[in-house]
Amino acid sequence: MLLDWKNDQETRQWSGNVNEVAMDGHRAWLTGVVTDAKGKILRIAEIDGQPVGLVRTANRPNGDIEVHYTVAPDQRNRGIGSAMVTQFVTEFQISHDKIVLVIKEGNVRSQAIAARLGLSRVHDAGIIPAEMGGDGTTTMWEWKNVA
Ligand SMILES: CC(C)(COP(=O)(O)OP(=O)(O)OC[C@H]1O[C@@H](n2cnc3c(N)ncnc32)[C@H](O)[C@@H]1OP(=O)(O)O)[C@@H](O)C(=O)NCCC(=O)NCCS
């Protein structure tokens, strides 16, 4: 299921790496996340027992915490993404000063989620390289609390 969400066309479009992921690579990645000694968090959001989305963290060396999220392809644009990310950040008491979101230019729903968390687009995280499927122009932006 998580691999299907990852390889969904829209998920790939808005990911840093747009290439399709194979099952072996996915398994290795997931094992790394759940066994991570630094305490990465990964949670599946459910509605009435049905999985509808995923939120996870990745720790940066400077203490900042990247938050990543995906809503199941058939559940998007119904308010789930906004609600689940807000709930995740609240439940795990992740300080807004530590949160970093890395969002591709044009991903308006993800930008709205960042804005709802009080974050602002702070700096260009770089052009996506060709080997990750970049077209030489699309940029990732980092969103942080600058208040
Ligand atoms: C991005 C994603 C997680 C958003 O989740 P979602 O459930 O589809 O989005 P929501 O319905 O919660 O909408 C999120 C926000 O975008 C706003 N929004 C929706 N359509 C919009 C539009 N066309 N323009 C501007 N804002 C829009 C919503 O109003 C909401 O903001 P609010 O909570 O302040 O009202 C989901 O679409 C997804 O998984 N996309 C593919 C993977 C992806 O992009 N992941 C994030 C990578 S950074």
- Of ligand 1's listed atoms, the one at least distance from the Cα of 102 is 48
Give the number of other CB atoms < 10 A from CB of residue 63.
Answer: 9
CA–CA distance, 104 with 122 (Å, rounded to integer): 13
Does residue 47 line the site of ligand 1, with CB under 6 A?
Answer: no
Does residue 97 line the site of ligand 1, with CB under 6 A?
Answer: no
Does residue 87 line the site of ligand 1, with CB under 6 A?
Answer: no
Residue 125 has pLDDT above 90, yes or no: no
**Structure confidence at residue 130 (pLDDT):** 67
Q: Is the dihedral of CA 147, 111, 40, 59 positive or negative?
A: negative
DSSP strand E in 74-138: where?
99-104, 120-127
Q: How far is the CA of 129 from the centre of ligand 1 (A)?
A: 25
Mean of per-residue pLDDT scores for the chain: 91
pLDDT tens digits, residue range 41-55? 999 999 999 999 999
- Of ligand 1's listed atoms, the one at least distance from the Cα of 110 is 1
Does residue 11 line the site of ligand 1, with CB under 6 A?
Answer: yes
Does residue 80 line the site of ligand 1, with CB under 6 A?
Answer: yes
Q: How far is the CA of 37 from the centre of ligand 1 (A)?
A: 31
**Structure confidence at residue 129 (pLDDT):** 67
pLDDT tens digits, residue range 53-66? 999 999 999 999 99
The full length of the chain comes to 147
Domain that holds residue 7: 2-144
CA–CA distance, 110 with 2 (Å, rounded to integer): 19
Q: What is the 3-state secondary structure (H, E, C) of 2-57?
A: HHHHHHCHHHHHCCCCCCCCCHHHHHHHHHHHHCCCCCCCEEEEEECCEEEEEEEE
Residue 135 has pLDDT above 70, yes or no: no
Greater confidence (136 vs 101) lies with 101
Residue 33 has pLDDT above 80, yes or no: yes
Overall number of domains in the chain = 1
The domain spanning residue 112 has which CATH number?
Answer: 3.40.630.30
- What is the rounded end-to-end Cα distance, in angstroms, of the chain? 38
Cα 7-11-16 angle, rounded to 5 deg: 100
